[in-house]
Structure 1
Amino acid sequence: MALDRISNLPSDVVENILSRLSIKEAVSTSVLSSNWRYKTAMLPHLVFDNRCFSNKNLTTFENIVNQVLLLHIGPINTFKLSHRDRLATSDIDRWILHLSRNAIEEFILDIWQGDPYKAPSCLFSCQDLVHLELYNCLLKPPSTFKGFKSLRSLDIRWITLASDVFDKMIVCSPLLEELTVVYIDGLTRLKIDAPNLQYLKVNGDFENVSLENTLNLVEVSIALDGSYDQRLVPGNCSNLVKFFVHLPHIRRLKIKSFFLQYLAFGDLPEKLPEPLLSLNYLSLSIRFKHLKELLTALFLIRNSPSLKVLSISAEEDQAVLVEEAKYLLDDNENCLLNQLQIVTIIGVSGVETELDFIRFLLSNAPVLKRMTVKPASMNGELVKKLLQFRRGSAFAEIIYMDP
């Protein structure tokens, strides 16, 4: 007989090969020989998704999950369940109960359709969880729930829960390093208290976003829906200062949608208590016709002496153009951006405020290497004006991209 090279591979190599197949394909290898009969039964990473079957037979899908779990030998480190169609709640409950008895470390539940799935109480007893992802779920943990002591990464999207449940999940998960929060029903004010948190992504309709004990954050991305013009009344206390006082080591920051407008509320200080010395990447969505947003954007740029990469997205707006913007930019002519090397600006329409902002960047960035400009629509006049602007860097290249 010919030498079976694959069967004689080390067990960890075989496991790596099987882990790259769908569950359906991995299970089918059990008929190859007696040596392969139980290899899939010992896989520590189980992924059940639409790759398993080409049809929409839910019964077949549920049967294969039942069969794999029933025959499985050894620990289950990862379990992912994702399906386009609504699965039976009783089946999911039973699978989670089984996993809760197996020291599961990574659990991903992606419910695509139907009402939010109410997570069973046994999920909250999984104290070995390191990574947790939940989509379209209702979370009501038992009163005995004290957080996840081993959790390092939490990703919750389109979840329904009460504010006290969210607070307990964050505060009582002391090792949490990565957090993604997207569209949470039942939560209007987002408060994040996580001393070990390093990566944060927020997207949703929140009236307030507050950070506490987040001094280790290095990467933040926040997008808020809805206008804050009428929802909040500006006061003397700056949202900008309250937010950045908890981000002394931030390196990458993305401000999208209406979050810049949220930061613009309150009195704008002359400078931050401490400059953003580590910030080297900044992405901003700006409504250039709003003076306060432009002021806030300039404030962030001025207070980021290590900034190397700047990405700007011009948001469309019907507001009347503010004449003060030109004088504002002129006042900042002496603000040198000594580290800025790469600038990308998309969605500009060619209004004076946008052009003045581009001129400001070009003239105040002595080591600028490349500025890429992509307008919202074809604009031949914009190209001519860009070429006329003075450049603070002799090596700066302006790249114009057609929309």
Structure 2
Amino acid sequence: MGRKQAKSTVAKPDRITLLPGHVIDHILCYLPIKEAVRTSVLSSKWRNKWYTLPNLVFSNAALQDRMVFESKFIKMVDHVLLLHSGSINMFKLSDSGHDIFSVNVATDIDRWILYLIGKSIKELVLEVLMDEFYKIPWCLFSCQSLHRLKLYSCWLNPPTTFEGFKNLRSLDLDQISMTQDAFENLISSCPLLEHLRLADVIGVSQVNIHAPNLKVFDIYDQFEDIRFVDTLQLTTVAINLSLYLNSETYQNRLHGCSSNLLKFFDGLPHIQSLEIHQDFLKYLAAGVVPVNLPTPCINLSYLSLTIKLNDLTEVSAALCLLRSSPNLRTLEIFARIKEHTVLSTPTSYCWEDIFSRPTTPIKARHVTMDGISATKLELDFIRFLLLYLPVLETMHVKAGANVTLELTKTLNQFKRASGEAKVIWEDDMSSSVVDPIYDEERSNNEEVEVSPIMEKRQSKKPRWMKDYVCK
């Protein structure tokens, strides 16, 4: 009788082991470097995969003690770079744990940057908070392989031999210290720059942008002046700007015969999306405010404004933009009150006279009014918009604090140029559609449907609203 055949003890490959190489690479790209290294124990196929990761992201989020963190962090980065055998497309240092590095780490970062330059790094992100600004080493300014550069809490002082980043497409500067000349030279020396973001750039008061291929510009800062030169490709601009109101530059513009509006839009012939917040509308209103821009913004489809409705110069600048945007589709208004104004004293404009009926109507289909506090000015402005928007589809009215149900009763009496327009009332606790009351068959006492919580508000109706009737 023959021997029984022994059972095979060879383990069948599991699903993880059988994954194709490109799928494993894709998975590893979404893991923090520490977790990517740990995947080596999964199988022999995974063992050396992290050696060739193209994107390296190092975060200090998991480490607490500062001195222990710095020592471990430096050793981890050194270990990964020593064993890495492939190309490196992206390298990121992140302070997501909000730990502050000591200045001693700067020499290690210098080493890593020099190594990455030799690897023809394409994307470099340094988000490292130290006891003082990290000084970018001069060697980085010779790196022509960079496509994207994002710096936080750094000091930029390019050498006199710096000739620009010839392949840079995206530049993000946040909490950066540099001189005015260094800033202008940096921007103008990046001929392929498409995306530029600036936030809290210390040492720069005049923002002069010379970038022929720039498409997206985002700024959050405090400056005296801003100017676009040779930016014909620029289509998306977001400006959240605080003004030096007492600066000589602003005061000269304020009382001069020039126009900030004309100078600003002269550099934006193809603008499609524009956000103007904080004090920037006041900056645009300095000097002469024209009725219309000489060249309409025919491509502008999205406009977002922060406006003080009780500041006639800001109102005039905003209406100039509306007159000059024949193809506007989405309008967003953040209503604010000018400082040092007595809120209990109602102020009114004849909006039709200020606006001067346009040859073509405003074509916005979607409007948002945010921060509404039920002043007469705000309601007059809403009524004006409803009368001048013939293709309006939706208007969202977002109320501020202590606004009562009485406001919705007033809104539903406003006539609308568009038969399809829906006014949607929103506050922190409810959202409802405010239907217009035009025909006599509907009772003037008809209630607007809102949440029960809204009905319980006990705030008094402003005195001026009692006799407010849409004419």
> Which of 272, 275, 278 is the equivalent residue of 1:254?
275
TM-superposition CA deviations, 1:171-210 (whole Å, max 9, x none) = 1110000000111111011100000000000111100011
Report whether the alignment pairs 1:118 with 2:132: no
Post-superposition offset of 1:37: 2.4
Q: What is the SS of the residue equivalent to 2:15?
A: coil
Aligned mate of 2:215, from 198, 202, 216: 198
Q: Which residue of 2 aligns with 1:43?
A: 53
Which amino acid is the alignment partner of residue 72 of structure 2? T
Deviation at 1:18, TM superposition (A): 0.5
Report the alpha carbon displacement of residue 316 of structure 1 after superposing the two structures with TM: 3.2
* Contact in 2 for aligned 1:127/1:148 (Cα 8 Å): yes
Q: Which residue pairs with 2:425 in the alignment?
A: 400
Work out which of the residue numbers 42, 67, 79 in structure 1 matches 2:79.
Answer: 67
Q: How does 1:135-146 map to 2 (within 5 A)?
A: 135-146=152-163
Task: Give the 3-state SS of the residue equivalent to 1:237 in structure 2.
Answer: coil
The Cα of 1:109 is off from its aligned counterpart by 0.1
Say which is worse superposed, 323-332 or 133-142, in terms of deviation.
323-332
Q: Which amino acid aligns with 1:79?
A: F
Instruction: Give, in whole Å, the separation in 2 of the partners of 1:113 and 1:282.
Output: 38
Q: Which residue in 2 is equivalent to 1:164?
A: 181
1:53 CA drift (Å): 4.8
**Cα distance, 1:8 vs. partner?**
3.5
Which shows bigger deviation, 162-171 or 221-230?
221-230
Shift of 1:25: 0.7
Residue pairs, 1:138-287, within 5 angstroms: 138-226=155-243, 228=245, 232-233=250-251, 234=254, 235-287=256-308
Q: How big is the shift at 1:112? A: 2.9
Q: Distance in 2 between matches of 1:81 and 1:171?
A: 27
Residue identity opposite 1:25 in structure 2: E
The share of aligned pairs that are identical, in percent, is 44
Deviation at 1:10?
2.9
Letter in 2 for 1:36: W
1:107-153 per-residue CA deviation (whole Å, 9 max, x = no partner) reads 00002342110011111111100000000000011111111000000
Inter-partner Cα distance in structure 2 for 1:261 and 1:356: 21
Give the superposition deviation at 1:353: 1.9
Distance in 1 (CA, whole Å) between partners of 2:52 and 2:234 is 38
CA drift at 1:382: 2.1
- Contact between 2:269 and 2:297, CA under 8 Å: does it hold in 1? yes
Number of equivalent positions: 403
- The answer on whether the counterparts of 2:224 and 2:244 sit within 8 Å (CA) in structure 1 is no
Q: What SS is found at the alignment partner of 2:193? A: coil
Q: Max radius of gyration: which structure?
A: 2
- 2:357 equivalent in structure 1: 334
Corresponding residue number in structure 2 for 1:19: 29
Residue 303 (1) aligns with residue 324 (2): yes
CA distance in 2, matches of 1:319, 1:357: 21
**What 5-or-longer segments of structure 2 have no aligned partner?**
1-10, 429-471
Pair 176,203 (structure 1): closer, same or farther in 2 beyond 3 Å: same
Check 1:7–1:51 CA distance in 2 against 1; reply closer, same or farther (3 A cut): farther
Deviation of 1:218 (Å): 0.6
The reply to whether residue 289 of structure 1 matches residue 307 of structure 2 is no
Name the CA shift for 1:347/1:79 in 2 (closer, same or farther; >3 Å): same
Task: Tell me which moved more, 231-240 or 361-370.
Answer: 231-240
- Seen in structure 2, the aligned counterparts of structure 1 residues 266 and 72 have a Cα distance that, compared at 3 Å, is same
- Report the RMSD for the aligned CA atoms in angstroms: 1.9
Give distance in 1, aligned partners of 2:338 and 2:286: 18
TM-score by length of 2: 0.82
Q: Aligned partners of 2:160 and 2:246: how far apart in 1?
A: 39
- CA distance in 2 between partners of 1:324 and 1:300 (Å): 23
Whether contact under 8 Å (1:141, 1:165) holds in the other structure is yes
* 1:52-63 to 2 correspondences below 5 Å: 53=63, 57-63=69-75
1:214-236: per-residue Cα shift (whole Å, max 9, x none)? 11111000011246377622211
Counterpart residue number, 1:390? 415
Q: Are the aligned partners of 1:329 and 1:357 in contact in 2 as well (CA < 8 Å)?
A: no
Partner of 2:99: 85
Change (3 A) 1:352 1:7: same
- For structure 1, which segment, 154-163 or 228-237, has the greater mean C-alpha deviation from structure 2 after superposition? 228-237
